[in-house]
């Protein structure tokens, strides 16, 4: 799943158990049981899919190998608008890779007494990266004419129906942030 790296990072970091004293912390990784998971089915509850998530998925689709914009959107865009959308999608994809790198740099802290900071810092990075996606959405929409905006938003929203997300119940409020 597209969200797996964000949720997995949060779950792994949240699953740390810390020892007392000078001994390095013991790290425990576990998957929450199904009873502790929330299943979000975008075809039934599209309103539960956060904006940052659906726009990130849309940007990934556009930034993919062929840099393809769906025809239902493309017919409403000028060449400059299509270029803006592709560039924004590529920028968001690069930002996501940079964010993943920032989170991976925290992994060595899991073996230190500083492990308690990993979950907090991971959440901060995730929120920064989600906000980047939302700002990218706003920038690209501002650069499009009304009919292009409408077609893009309609396509992005239609993607929710195909999205399925599993989130630990205790992480649901964070998953829905910032919007």
User: Is residue 133 a contact partner of residue 156, using CB atoms and an 8 Å limit?
Assistant: no
Average pLDDT, the chain: 84
Q: What is the pLDDT of residues 57-69, one digit of tens each?
A: 999 999 987 789 9
Q: What is the pLDDT of residues 76-120, one digit of tens each?
A: 999 999 999 999 999 999 999 999 999 999 888 877 777 778 888
User: What average pLDDT does this structure show over 70-79?
Assistant: 96
* 37: three-class secondary structure by DSSP: strand
Q: What is the pLDDT of residues 120-163, one digit of tens each?
A: 889 999 999 999 999 999 999 999 999 999 999 999 999 999 99
Helix (H) or strand (E) holding 49: none
Does 164 have pLDDT greater than 80? yes
Predicted pLDDT at 4: 38
The residues pairing with 41 across neighbouring beta strands, listed in sequence order, are 164
Report the alpha-carbon distance of residue 174 to residue 124 in Å, rounded: 11
End-to-end C-alpha distance for the chain, whole angstroms: 20
Does 16 have pLDDT greater than 90? no
* 94: three-class secondary structure by DSSP: helix
Predicted pLDDT at 30: 61
Predicted pLDDT at 141: 98
Nearest by Cα to 41 from 155, 172, 167, 163: 163
Q: What is the pLDDT of residues 40-56, one digit of tens each?
A: 999 999 999 999 999 99
Predicted pLDDT at 7: 39
Nearest by Cα to 67 from 82, 53, 80: 82
Report the alpha-carbon distance of residue 137 to residue 58 in Å, rounded: 10
């Amino acid at each position: 799943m597209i969200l797996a790296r964000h949720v997995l990072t949060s779950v792994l970091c949240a699953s740390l158990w810390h020892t007392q004293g000078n001994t390095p912390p013991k790290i425990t990784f576990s998957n929450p049981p199904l009873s502790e998971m929330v299943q979000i089915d975008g075809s039934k509850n599209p309103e539960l899919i956060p904006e940052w998530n659906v726009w990130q998925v849309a940007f990934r689709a556009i930034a993919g190998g062929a840099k393809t914009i769906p025809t239902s959107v493309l017919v409403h865009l000028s060449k400059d608008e299509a270029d803006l959308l592709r560039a924004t999608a590529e920028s968001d994809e690069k930002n996501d890779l940079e964010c993943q790198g920032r989170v991976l740099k925290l992994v060595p802290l899991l073996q230190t007494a500083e492990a308690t900071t990993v979950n907090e810092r991971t959440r901060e990075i995730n929120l920064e990266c989600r906000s980047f996606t939302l700002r990218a959405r706003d920038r690209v929409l501002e650069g499009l004419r009304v009919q292009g905006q409408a077609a893009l938003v309609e396509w992005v929203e239609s993607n929710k129906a195909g999205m399925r997300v599993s989130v630990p119940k205790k992480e649901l409020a964070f998953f829905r942030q910032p919007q």
